[in-house]
Amino acid sequence: MITARAFEGKRYAVFGLARTGLATARALCASGATVLAWDDGEAGRAAAEAAGIPLVNLYETDFAGLDGLLLSPGIPLHLPQPHPLAEKARSAGVEILGDIELFSRARAELPEHRVVAITGTNGKSTTTALIHHVLRENGIEARLGGNIGLPILGEEPLPAGGVYVLELSSFQIDLVQSLAVDVAVLLNITPDHLDRHGDMAGYAHAKERLFRMQKRGQTAVVSVDDDYCRAIARACGARLCAISIEQPQPAGVSVLNGQLAADGAVLGNQSEWPRLQGPHNAQNAAAAFAATRALGLAPEKILTAFKTYGGLPHRMEFVAEVGGVTYLNDSKATNPTSTAPALAAYPAIHWIAGGKAKTDELDACLPHLGNVRAAYTIGAAEELFANLLAPHVPVEKAGTLENAVKLAASRAQPGEVVLLSPACASYDQFRDFEARGDAFRAAVSALQEAASA
């Protein structure tokens, strides 16, 4: 794990003991800090006890003298209502931070390294994994962390010359004060998490904080294809590399009509990258190219690595073909803008959608409904999505994912696709989007077993 003498002798409260919170508590203890840990759930407390982490009911604890309250990113600081422990910390003058800020403060004690951080509404995980893949394929030690992979403090420190590649959500950036990354990447900003940020301006401001922490000489890779990103690009204090999939960038990177161009010269063809097809992956590839160029890799080495990138689980992932019908798991699509590329990619889709809605519209998906043979709505958004889609496509309210898979399988014809791309968060019925994707795989596996019986 990553530890630091900077934490030795200090007292921290850690609230939320899932993977990230537990890794944070363990790293602090190993650094010589005093840790007061708590979780509202029995499972989190049991995991902490098993790891030897002291448990203290923080609701009943005096916060005077604490050096910080460590919160998991999902815990609200302000909206829709501040968590009671966040308010308690503010009243006591106690700093509120997250594991990424602890990593930032530990950096001075780590072997010489660089950090790339990726944010945006959609495409973060693919771009993060792609950058990590390009580095590893070129012999550079790299670690994934943040919103993907293992919690960063639970990772082993890299040797000198390594690169930490961090996917950062707006929630994580809210808990960071000092992370000046060598390369910061912003892909796009579309409506998401508005209950936590109040409005689009608040959401964009959270993303912008990553770039305000950068120093001159560092690199900001920013898409200039939406108004919010363009505004952030104009305000960057770091060296700007603009990327686009809508217009040429004479002094940046663009992917237009499948051609990747950097500094005005065409260098590669998207058709050569099997797992990076579609406009959304064009943007991801442009960002990854710009970021790894900023780290010093030659264009030909980057593009060679693009050819061997294998894709991500839960992102337009092929699961199986049963009776001539293809089943695809796009559980990571947790908002309409993230779902739209999947709907655009296939001509005959049986679409499973729903969960905990982040918006009350499906506007980004509407232009692609000509590809949808039928929709099957599930979860808390079942009624909302059924009402939105009924004027356009046949809809069945399936309730559960398992039932939706059965219904779609009974209606899909050979050559068609059954697509789980929920356009919603998973928290109404599942622990996270991974658990939802795993449930989809299990349901498809049951279809395979029935077909072979």
HSE-up of 372 (CA within 13 Å, CB side)? 28
Out of 114-118, 146-150, 194-198, 309-313, the most confident range is 114-118
For 222, counting Cβ atoms within 10 Å of its Cβ (0-12 exposed, 13-18 middle, 19+ buried), the class is buried
Backbone angles phi, psi at 414, to 5 degrees: -50, 135
What's the mean pLDDT when you consider all of the chain? 95
Phi, psi (rounded to 5 degrees) for 243: -125, 155
pLDDT at 248: 95
| CA-wise closest residue to 377 among 420, 327, 326, 322 | 420
Q: How far is CA 202 from the centre of its chain?
A: 19
pLDDT of residue 35: 97
pLDDT per residue as tens digits for the range 5-40: 999 999 999 999 999 999 999 999 999 999 999 999
Average pLDDT estimate for 347-374: 96
**Calpha distance 332→334 (Å, rounded):** 6
- pLDDT above 90 as % of the chain: 88
Rounded CA-CA distance 185/171 in Å is 16
Does 314 qualify as catalytic in the annotation?
no
The amino acid present at 302, given as its one-letter code, is: I
Strand order in the sheet with 96-97: 34-38, 11-15, 68-71, 96-97
Average pLDDT over residues 335-349: 91
Count CB-CB contacts under 10 A for residue 449.
10
Predicted confidence (pLDDT) at residue 433 exceeds the cutoff of 90:
yes
Q: How confident is the model at residue 79 (pLDDT cuts 50, 70, 90)?
A: confident
How high is the pLDDT of residue 414? 97
Whether the pLDDT of residue 312 is over 90: the answer is: no
305 to 87, 292, 315, 387: CA distances (angstroms):
47, 11, 19, 44
CA–CA distance, 64 with 68 (Å, rounded to integer): 10
| SS3 of residue 407 by DSSP | helix
**Which of 113, 193, 197, 332 is the catalytic position?**
193
C-alpha pair distances (Å), 125 with each of 38, 77, 315: 29, 24, 9
pLDDT tens, residue by residue, 166-222: 999 999 999 999 999 999 999 999 887 778 888 999 999 999 999 999 999 999 999
Does the pLDDT of residue 280 top 90, yes or no?
A: no
Q: Cα-Cα-Cα-Cα dihedral of 336, 340, 341, 347, to 10°?
A: 150
What pLDDT, in 10s, does the model give residues 231-260? 999 999 999 999 999 999 999 999 999 999
**Secondary element (H or E) of residue 173:** helix 170-174
Neighbouring residues of 138: CB distance < 8 A, sequence distance ≥ 6 = 297, 301, 305
Catalytic (active site) residue 193: yes
Q: What is the mean pLDDT of residues 361-384?
A: 97
Residue 453 is predicted with a pLDDT of 80
Q: What is the mean pLDDT of residues 63-91?
A: 93
Give the strand pairing for 11-15 and 68-71. Answer: parallel
pLDDT at residue 382, as a whole number: 98
Residue 261 has pLDDT above 90, yes or no: yes
Task: Say whether 183 sits in a helix, a strand or coil.
Answer: strand
- Known active-site residue 301: no
- How far apart (Å, rounded) are the C-alpha atoms in residues 203 and 293? 29
Q: Are 304 and 88 in contact (CB under 8 A)?
A: no
Residue type, 25: A
**Cα angle value 150/156/157 (rounded, 5°):** 120
Q: Which of 147, 188, 284, 371 is catalytic?
A: 147
pLDDT above 90 for 389: yes
**Which is the catalytic residue, given 113, 124, 350, 358?**
124
Give the strand pairing for 162-167 and 142-146: parallel
| Pair of tokens at residue 304 | 């060679």
- Spatial separation of the C-alpha atoms in residues 19 and 25, rounded to whole Å: 10
